[in-house]
Amino acid sequence: MLVSAAEMLKKAKAGKYAVGQFNINNLEWTKAILQTAQEMNSPVILGVSEGAGKYMCGYNTIVGMVNGMIETLGITVPVALHLDHGSYEGAKKCIEAGFSSIMFDGSHYPIEENIAKTKELIELAAAKGMSLEAEVGAIGGEEDGVVGSGEVADPNECKMIADLGVSMLAAGIGNIHGKYPANWAGLNFEVLGKISELTGDMPLVLHGGTGIPAEMIQKAISLGVSKINVNTECQLAFAAATREYIEAGKDLQGKGFDPRKLLAPGVEAIKATVKEKIELFGSANKA
């Protein structure tokens, strides 16, 4: 059964570890992430961007697939199904469709409008026992077509949004979606520390987890980050393993063209990536 992300993140914040949000793209992705979380006895958040939602034939299809897998695979660790960077309309659709968590990304609205819309969605989500993530300060890089400027969030605005009763808060602290450029300045720990101080128990979310050095991740967790989003890294691992299989000509040997064989190395690569992240984030055996 799907659960809200609120409880698992409260525990993570108190226990000084982070729960991974791994974005899904299809059945193979979802299965690989669920099986690895179960194997590691770790809570897990499945992230769905609006673009991936369309690709997978809509939110109802995804809810059906994930619930079916949880039952058939015997998944007992806490699993949240979460809309990633939701629009106001997309968030409403996921509340209806049976997701257990949503992110409303109102970071591109003026703060007053971000607050008004966040408030309304908190009420709708709370009525269904769902968690809600809000964002202050756009995350740099590309968010499904929305290009952020990589700004650093204003800690006072973070406090305003946190006080609305959100379950977790994403704040831009110099992090970027996708691959990090060679001249990246790193995370702004001074601002993260201030946000943490002002927002108290609020679990903080770090987007753009791909390629942030391990010691920066650990420092971020020590300063109150309890949820870390990983997307690109699984895609890169999947693509590299699939490339290797095809370049070795394995799809031309025997029944190597069978999708169950052709996609297997990519699936194993996703599993290895998720395992490595769960270990780094410290959420193994916290289910």
Encoded one letter per residue, x for contact with Zn ion by CB under 5 A and - for no contact, window 156-175 reads: --------------------
The encoded tokens of residue 160 equal 């305003």
**Taking the complex as a whole, how short is the minimal distance between the CB of residue 92 and Zn ion, in angstroms?**
20
CB of 1 to Zn ion, least distance (A): 26
Which of 84, 144, 154, 258 is the catalytic position?
84
Q: What is the CB neighbour count within 10 angstroms for residue 158?
A: 26
Smaller CB separation from Zn ion, 230 or 278: 230
As a three-state string, the secondary structure of 72-134 is HCCCCCCEEEEEEEECHHHHHHHHHHCCCEEEECCCCCCHHHHHHHHHHHHHHHHCCCCEEEE
At its nearest, how many Å lie between Zn ion and the CB of residue 103?
8
| Of residues 47 and 282, the one with the C-beta less far from Zn ion | 47
Q: Which is nearer to Zn ion, 36 or 143 (CB)?
A: 143
* 82 in contact with Zn ion (CB under 5 A): no
Place of tokens 């520390």: 193
**Total of chain residues touching Zn ion, rule CB under 5 A:** 1
| Beta strands at 44-49 and 79-86: parallel, antiparallel or unpaired | parallel
Q: What is the dihedral of CA 256, 261, 266, 270, to 10 degrees?
A: -170
Query: Minimal distance in Å, beta carbon 108 to Zn ion?
Result: 13
- The Cα 171–Cα 180 span in angstroms is 18
Taking residues 102 to 121 in sequence order and writing x for each that binds Zn ion by CB under 5 A, - otherwise, the string is --------------------
258 annotated active-site: no
Neighbouring residues of 65: CB distance < 8 A, sequence distance ≥ 6: 27, 30, 56
Strand partners, 152: 173
Q: Using DSSP bridges, classify how beta strands 131-136 and 101-104 pair: parallel, antiparallel or unpaired.
A: parallel
Q: Looking at residues 184 to 213 of the shown chain, list those that interact with Zn ion (rule: CB under 5 A).
A: 207
Q: Which is nearer to Zn ion, 207 or 227 (CB)?
A: 207
Q: How far is the CB of 139 from Zn ion (least distance, A)?
A: 5
Q: Which is nearer to Zn ion, 82 or 207 (CB)?
A: 207
Count other C-beta atoms under 10 Å from residue 236's C-beta: 16
Q: Could you list the residues that contact Zn ion (CB under 5 A)?
A: 207
Active-site amino acid positions: 84
